[in-house]
Structure 1
Amino acid sequence: MKIYIKTYGCQMNENDTEIMAGILAQKGHQIVDDLDQADVVILNTCVVRQKSQDKYHSALGQLLKMKKEGKIKLVGISGCGANLEAEQLIKDGADFVLGSRSILAVAEVLERAASGEKVIYLEDTICSDMSSLPRSRSSTHHAWVTIIHGCNRFCTYCIVPYTRGREKSRPMEDVLAEVKKLAESGVKEITFLGQNVDAYGKDLKDGTSLAKLINKASEIEGIERIWFLTSYPTDITDELIETVAKNPKAAKSFHIPIQSGSNRILRLMNRRYTREQFAELVEKIRKIVPQASISSDVIVGFPTETEEDHQQTVEIVKTLQFERLNLAIYSPRPGTVASKYFKDDVPREVKVRRLNELLELQKEINKKLNERYLNQVVELFVEGKTKDGLYYGRDIRNKIILFKASALQIGQRVLVKITRITAGPLYGELVTS
């Protein structure tokens, strides 16, 4: 059968899609990039925000209409939405539902659905030998590598621990075997993934850690750069910071969500640090890794957030000067503590105003920080080409750079001189390739 997979949400969902596509292709199915060519459509879903959930529900409705018209045969749901509302999705018309930790069973579930069975499969199929799985990678030079599944933090606003389950680390040997295969296939950059990537190895209780994994992976011939996402502040160790500082292949980039600058709101969120502790961590990283790029996340309009709370967030954003700031308006997620016990009492228009204030502030910060790049020569790997014919890539600090060149290869290492600054990407001229 011809199968089209639509992916929503985070990089872990992208990685899961690559695994499902690889398994299905190995079983003789054809993965297609065009919905109009598909017999089967799988929506790999995200529920971290109400907007994400609304998107896939809207897509499901459109797909069921196409199925009724005979344009497609089966519609399946995978990912976090499957875990959250499996029964409802089947009632709505989905033919099969596959949990976020059940993706290894995708071919079996599809076969059952094709025989006419309505299937809900939520069992944990994550194994200790993930490196042997077939995958359909979206990039030839970069690969996502999930090293830990789940999260134990239970922030009051977050549905992830309920949909992805508790933390479960892959054995280091298995991860390294996957990285070695990737290097042999020509991959030069890898990103280690986890809902809480810094917790990697804690559950194994054998001394395994993210820092040790980075050092081991960097020894594999062909691997040139190593990234990791996403970090929880109190799980970032001195060992990890020192590793990023000393290992030339470790990207000098930390993504550390702060979520709020108000200690009162942080307590309500069950974030296990204060604004002062977060600032101390950022200061420590910048002292040990002077060239480090630090980005963050903020949730605007959490229940009971006052103007004073918001201004405390504004203040810490001004003080810490993040290279990038992902902003989201709070939306209640059914099943979370915040949804159950806290009233969503910040008016929508207030949330939007606060969001826009932070957006404008971050634009100013971005432009100021980007000015440091002017006339500098940076090294990057070519990631692709825009519709306007510009090549692009990112440096070791995760800064996106666009430039003109002719006939470059994806994954090629180049040097680019920065000639123009914006609040977003940088623009430059090719120095050498």
Structure 2
Amino acid sequence: MIDFLATLDPANGLAEDSCMLPPGPPDDLLWRALVRLAAGRDRAERDDQALTPRVVGAYGHTRMDALVRGAGEAVERFALFPQDGGVPGQVRGTAAGLGARALDFAAPGLGLGDPAAGCRTLTWYPARRLADGSELLVPAGLVDYPAPAEEAEGFDPGPSGAASGQGYDMALRSALLELVERDALLVAWERKLRPRRIDLAALTAGGVPRGKENTLRRGLLRLWDAALRAGLEPVLADLPTGIPGVACTVAVVLDRTGPQPLATMGCNATDRVDWSMLGALQEALQVRSAVVNQRESHGYGAAPATIVDDDDRLRYVASRECFAWVEEWTGGFRSPRPPRESRAVPTSELLAGMLADGADPIAVDLTHRLPLGLREMGWAAVKVVPVGYQPLRLAEDHRFSWNTGRLRTAEARTGLPGLLPADAEPAVERRPHPLP
């Protein structure tokens, strides 16, 4: 049985330190769980860094929500750190030397790796192709975060696609849903698709819903009201997915109350519609808190010339340039629609829907990297490589990290109108996404 407080106890080897902070309006509208990981102690950290892989933050509409999400986030991030001794079954070699056993990460339009990396000797981890259960090898640069420089070259390492849970199946499901979310948002942002806004008034027709089954809906409405009281302009919109029953919500928070305007964004894909909306709004407000609380100490103002990591991305989000891009995109959202109806989507159906939608996910089990005490509680961790989907891009200067097929077919797949011509090349204009 998972004990979330014990998970963060330094004696169990995951966390070096952690704390819970209550809401502090108007800057912080959520409970905050902050965790410094015990992993990566040998990594040098810069004083000017606002974000570091060793520090995990998870915000929630209640104390328990923040604690649960913070513990889960800490577990998955810990599992991404490479460890002495490596991964059981790992090998060293080139893509050509390994042949059919190796993932063809540099296939045209796939968006996973630079073709030049295929000639280098790399570390490869054993993985499982979820479509048929077959085994293959994936490069460490697509799994580890932070990845050693020699493994990271030619890839865009990041935490996206990693998840934890009570047992492997729960972790895998969360990772798959995150791939759906990232693909939907990155493609919609890059193609300037025009989703429909979500009309929250439909949720309160007849009064605020009662009952345990409506806990998330009440939490969403309270958080929405808190954002309005803080002078913010929250917006929710519905992003279609290729999986029947899986809703994906994008949340935008426009903040004109500070020294310069700020726009932050969040996204959440799940079969629970109320959680999709609440989770997306929480994420947007979490990013806002991170910017507002560090504006003075980190000198946020102008966007960085290049974006190569999460810290650069946060500086970009804090800039007027990002605000202008987000405001423009949000202004193109179409007329409101009521929230979708929820229906349970089993993991087998989720996977089948992803395969039909063009995904070919590859899973790497990282549970062995967790401290023994956490494994005994039931924690598991997994990283899923988003073969066939658009991955979340950390570094903007990589030309290889676009899945051109997903971009080219976006309007036809989603049914959403876009503002770009069908043959537009990705990133023709400098318009980085706003997800740190």
TM-score of the alignment, normalized to the shorter chain, above 0.5: no
TM-score interval (norm. to shorter): under 0.3
| Larger-Rg structure | 1
TM-score, reference length from structure 1: 0.25
